[in-house]
Amino acid sequence: MLSRKAKREIILIVMLIATAQLVYTLFYSNSGYRQLQTRQNELNRLQIENAQLLREQQMYLERIERLRNNPEEIIDVARDRQMHRPGDIIVIIPPKK
C-alpha cells in the first residue's frame, strides 16, 4: 500500500499532466486559441474587403443610374471614347509634351 505522501505525489503528477494536456489543446490544437485568432483576423479582413466592394458596387450603380437618366452623361462618355456621329467634324489636339 502506498503512503499518503506517495499518493499525493501521484495525484500531483496526474494533475500536472492533465493541465499540460489542457494547455496544449487550448493553444495548439485545430480548434485552439491560435486557430481562433487566425479565423478572427481573416473575418476582419474579409469584412473590410466586403465593405470596400459594397462601396464600389454603389459607385457603379450610381453611374448606371446617371447614364440611364442623363443624356449629357452619355455624351461625355462618348466624347471621352472619341466617338462621333456621322457628319461630325473632329479636331484632335495632341497633348503637350
> What is the per-residue pLDDT across 29-84, written as a single tens digit (0 to 9) for each?
777 788 888 899 999 999 999 999 999 999 999 999 999 999 899 888 888 887 88
Helix axes 4-28, 33-69, angle to 10 degrees: 20
* 12 pLDDT tier (thresholds 50, 70, 90): very high
Q: In this structure, what DSSP letter does residue 90 have?
A: -
Q: Higher confidence at residue 23 or residue 44?
A: 44
Q: Which three cell numbers mark 13?
A: 503528477
What is the model's pTM?
A: 0.57
- Neighbouring CB atoms inside 10 A of 30's CB total 7
Q: How far apart are CA 73 and CA 80, in angstroms?
A: 11
Q: Which residue has the higher pLDDT, 64 or 1?
A: 64
Res. 26 pLDDT band, cuts 50 70 90: confident
Dist. CA 56–CA 76, nearest whole Å: 21
